[in-house]
Amino acid sequence: GCVLVVSVIEQLAQWHNSTVKAAMEKLCDYIPGKFQIMCHFSCCIDREMNADVVCHSLRLCKQDPGQPLCHLYSPPKVKHSSGLFRALVHARPKRQIRSKSFMGFSSVCAFPLLANLCEKIKYVLRNKLPFEDFDGDKFSTFPTLRGYHWRGRDCNDKNTTVYPGRRPDNWDANSDSNCNGIWGVDPKDGIPYEEKFCKGADSKGVVLLGDSAGAHFHIPPEWMTVTQMSAKSFDNLPMAFSDELDWPQFSEITGFLNSTIGGWTDSLYLRLRKRNRCNHRDLQNISQNVYFPINIAPCLSFSLARNQLLDNPAIVIYATIGNDVCNGERDTLAHMTTPKEMLSNVVQALQYLDSHLPNGSHVILTGLVDGRFLWDNLHDRYHPLGQLNKDVTYRQLYSFLDCLQVSPCSGWLTPNETLRNLTSERALQLSNVLKEIARSEKFANFDIFYMDFPLRQTAEEWRKMGGEPWQLIEPVDGFHPSQIAAALGTGITWQKALHEWPQVLGKENPFNDQIEAIFKDQGGY
């Protein structure tokens, strides 16, 4: 974090030919007030010292005994540079910074007045539940903090029997019990609109059980690219942080808003809604940002909102495309999920789903990605932090994160080709476990399918459109699928389902145009 902030400040000073102090003031003008904690840095930054040196000298970065010295930038190119670099990073800054300026940020939850709030936030994030949910039905009228960016928007947060995805109460003759905006009675014949337009329409929702890729993790490159930086660059900062730097509202499975982070939005939910307008708002994104193997089953009991007796069936996408092989450990292979563990974890989750999903649901297991694509297409390109001076490549970023032991995937983000191949070999083994589960396991309340993660098809489709493979990867973290990749992946998944599992998508509703005409003001998100 320190290296990132100091890099941006130094590059701002260079780009605007100003002092560090002036650059710091400019950055603080850009950033919303409550996020200006880094504004204490300017007293300690020297433009002649790179960010690694500054952060080590501030003691915000450290070198543990027996561990390598972690640095993002190359050491100075002078004789005895290694010794000089080590001396610089252990030097004291010209002026000392008060340590309590940073202590407050990390220990804010220690204050009695904030302790309860912090505990609630931790509970919400741990269980993937909305922060504001007054009736406790796991749906919210608030967008972020696991609100309706993640799940369909509640239309009555004071009534626990009103929420997206339920079967209509008395055909919603008097009020909208399932929040799809269709309710009331047709005065011409006295038939409730929900009964007229949605009865027998095979309505169903979509639920994603995923990792950070499914949550659509994204750090805007304009936050650290000084040639593009302006006050507008940080307009989305508060929203991004309260959504954990995820953008599920633009994601491949549950996206529903037009993308503001490049590319375009296309999602399984939007296509299901277009196919059947009665599916409006019936979505749940139960994904989490972690870089270690996930056993989804334990969190389902807290997070999944589906009543087997009262709700519509659902299409559940099980897509942890990298976490079972990705970790930041030095001995990364030893910390990967084994095929035996994968079988146990997935079957446990499926058994839970079978006891909670309404009959007629569907589950799609998505295979793991072949992450060699990342190194092959990015390692020699410049990261956003390195574009101004051509001094930081993705190879350097990956090495820096690996040295700090915070790499999102040590097995793939490495110059070690043998390790990359072994990681992909394990990913294929785990995908084969999922494929075998889909082939052999049977459940009472849903059928089950398997599909490979469509990276190869996505890259081919993008090439046909004139794009380059590296554009399918998030530019800042160099790891997650980009907005373009998410949108293209939706089309590939949809076509596969349409041709191989048409029963999953349900039939097209012949009344869609009539619904839109009558309820055009009721379809907002």
Specify whether the CB–CB gap between 52 and 61 falls below 8 A: yes
CA-based Rg of the chain, rounded to a whole angstrom?
25
DSSP 8-class letter at 217: B
Alpha carbons 464 and 492: distance in angstroms, whole number: 14
- Check 7, 42, 212, 431 and give the catalytic one: 212
Tens digits of pLDDT across the chain (525 residues): 889 999 999 999 999 999 999 999 999 889 887 666 666 665 667 667 889 998 888 888 888 888 899 999 988 665 445 554 565 555 555 444 443 333 343 455 666 666 776 777 777 777 889 999 999 999 999 999 999 999 999 999 999 999 999 999 999 999 999 999 999 999 999 999 999 999 999 999 999 999 999 999 999 999 999 999 998 999 999 999 999 999 999 999 999 999 999 999 999 999 999 999 999 999 999 999 876 666 787 788 789 999 999 999 999 999 999 999 998 888 999 999 999 999 999 999 999 999 999 999 999 999 999 999 999 999 999 999 999 999 999 999 999 999 998 999 999 999 999 999 999 999 999 999 999 999 999 999 999 999 999 999 999 999 999 999 999 999 999 999 999 999 999 999 999 999 999 999 999 999 999 999 998 876 566
101 is catalytic: no
Burial of 393 (0-12, 13-18, 19+ CB in 10 A): middle
Which residue type occupies 391? Answer: D
Element (H, E) at 423: helix 417-440
Alpha carbons 232 and 202: distance in angstroms, whole number: 44
pTM: 0.92
The verdict on domain 205-515 having CATH code 3.40.50.720 is no
Alpha carbons 354 and 297: distance in angstroms, whole number: 12
The single residue listed with the structure tokens 């292979």 is 333
Please tell me whether residue 91 adopts helix, strand or coil conformation.
coil
Element (H, E) at 418: helix 417-440
| For the chain, domain boundaries | 1-72+85-90, 205-515
Distances (CA, A) of 113 to 104, 118, 119, 132: 14, 10, 11, 19
Specify whether the CB–CB gap between 357 and 446 falls below 8 A: yes
DSSP 8-class letter at 157: T
**Cβ count near 153 (within 10 Å):** 22
Specify whether the CB–CB gap between 337 and 430 falls below 8 A: yes
Which residue type occupies 132? Answer: E
DSSP string, 475-514: TTTSSSB-HHHHHHHHHHHHHHHHHH-HHHH-PPPTTHHH
Element (H, E) at 144: none
- Burial code (b: 16+ CB inside 10 Å, e: under 16) for 405-418 equals eebbbbbbbbeeee
DSSP string, 225-257: -TTT--GGGGTTHHHHHHTTTB-GGGSTTT--S
